[in-house]
Amino acid sequence: MEMNPRILQMMKMKMSKKGSRDKRGDDSDLIVDLFSVLTIPGKLGAHEINDVLFEAETVREQSSCMPVEERFAPAETCDSADSLEKIKSDALVCTACELYETRTNLVFGEGNPHAKLMFIGEAPGAEEDSTGRPFVGRAGKHLDKILISAGFKREEVYITNILKSRPPENRTPSFEEMKACTPFLSRQIAVIKPKVIALLGNTALKFVIGPDSPGITKIHGQWFDSLFGIPCMPLYHPSYLVRNNSRQPGSPNWQMWQDIQALKKRYDEIA
């Protein structure tokens, strides 16, 4: 699956610019794109750039988002004879980037292979790399509590990440690493055929909806089309909720509770 050459060039140009992970500067000049926010979860599954994203983000009009067809091929164009077992086998022997040399385990994804609801996060953290399972650290346990409270069972949904391998020291993934892992996610979606997708955090949001989409604080809990042609809802990343554990009305955890109930309502309608 090849990306549009013009988009490739544009994203590479963005990658060549100096990052601003430790520079807050003028809020109006903070341009948020896929690669500037792609920060791998740490011990708590948290990415430091969230501190910047939640405090200062340039919000662009939804209509300015890059057209779906100009970014990635739709999931339904993948081989209809594909299977999760084959995709995982291919990912295990993939050498398209260097992460296979440093990871402990491939973190492919888990859950119902015919799930109507799929959760997509950013990338494995330390706990995930150690166990080979997605969302098993403190952030994952918090996600489990949210799912149970809303009436979901973890085994009835499917949970995965954009990246299948943890970069060393949780560093920011490179453009080539992102490009290398994209086909596996697309193939997973094509095989599972979820009816709805939940995007956990800003990175997944920018990746699936588009790098020019508004940030998570602006559009969490809303429904959007995705590059895979499947309705999706952005949700706060559980690591952010762990670090901001207030349950007061208006707090991120309170907002997450409203969002997950709306997601459950949609899920029940299609189930």
193-204, pLDDT tens digit by residue?
A: 999 999 999 888
Which pLDDT does position 78 carry in this prediction? 54
More confident residue, 75 or 213: 213
Q: Does some domain include residue 70?
A: no
User: Would 176 be classed as within a structural domain?
Assistant: yes
d(CA 136, CA 237) in angstroms, rounded, equals 14
Task: Quote the domain boundaries for residue 139.
Answer: 27-60+83-270
Contacts of residue 12, defined as CB under 8 A and 6 or more positions apart, other chains included, come to: 175
- CATH label of the domain that carries residue 162: 3.40.470.10
Q: Is 150 part of any domain? A: yes
The predicted structure's pLDDT at residue 176: 77
Question: Rounded to an integer, what distance in angstroms lies between the CA atom of residue 20 and that of residue 177?
Answer: 20
Is the overall model pTM greater than 0.85, yes or no?
no
**Nearest CA to 185 among 158, 167, 154?**
158
Kindly state whether residue 158 falls inside one of the protein's structural domains.
Answer: yes
In a domain, 111, yes or no: yes
Q: Say how many domains are in the chain.
A: 1
Residue 107 belongs to a domain: yes
Q: What's the pLDDT score for residue 235?
A: 98
Instruction: Return the residue matching tokens 């740490």.
Output: 42
Write out the two tokens for 4.
């549009």
Residue in this structure with the two tokens 């500067």, named with its chain if needed: 25
Express each pLDDT in 127-145 by its tens digit.
999 999 999 999 999 999 9
Kindly report, residue by residue over 177-195, the tens digit of the pLDDT.
Answer: 777 898 999 999 999 999 9
**Most confident of the following: 7-11, 40-44, 179-183:** 179-183
Q: Determine which of 58-62, 104-108, 157-161 has the lowest per-residue pLDDT on average.
A: 58-62
Which of the residue ranges 60-64, 105-109, 167-171, 237-241 would you say has the lowest mean pLDDT?
60-64
In a domain, 95, yes or no: yes
Query: Is 65 within a domain?
Result: no
Q: Are 195 and 230 in contact (CB under 8 A)?
A: yes
